[in-house]
Amino acid sequence: MQYYQRLTMAFDLSSPSTLFSQHALTTGAQVSDLGHSEIHPEGLYHLLRQTSCYGKPIYITENGVADAQDQCRPMFLVNHLRQVWKAIRDGVPVKGYYHWPLTDNFEWAEGWNLRFGLI
């Protein structure tokens, strides 16, 4: 499983050219340097619970945030790991968690401008 942030979408049959359009951000929501989606740790918990119905071990292979100034990354990690712990406590078979990435990386659309890594 890979989980980063919440992105809400709307579906409108009356507007075929924009069948899926992004909803506005929740007032006061924290956003990453990407600025288009909300940091929402509770979403990870809900996704873990929904996925547990398959009865398979769950590995979170990517979870991280773009944060050049490291202003939200520490709490991002704490809050997301808290949700993983909550899911485990509720019986979800989470077997592994990997923060993504360890070091910064090149993004095709952004080059080296975004800072993702722990290092």
What are the tens digits of pLDDT across the range 45-80? 999 999 999 999 999 999 999 888 889 999 999 999
pLDDT at residue 79 in the model: 97
**DSSP calls for 3-18:** ---B--EEE-TT-GGG
* Domain count for the chain: 1
Cβ contact 13:19 at 8 Å = yes
| 7: nearest Cα among 16, 26, 66, 17 | 26
In-domain check, residue 8: no
In-domain check, residue 2: no
In-domain check, residue 12: no
Distance CA 17, CA 112 (A): 33
* E-state strands within the chain: 9-11, 20-22, 58-60, 94-97
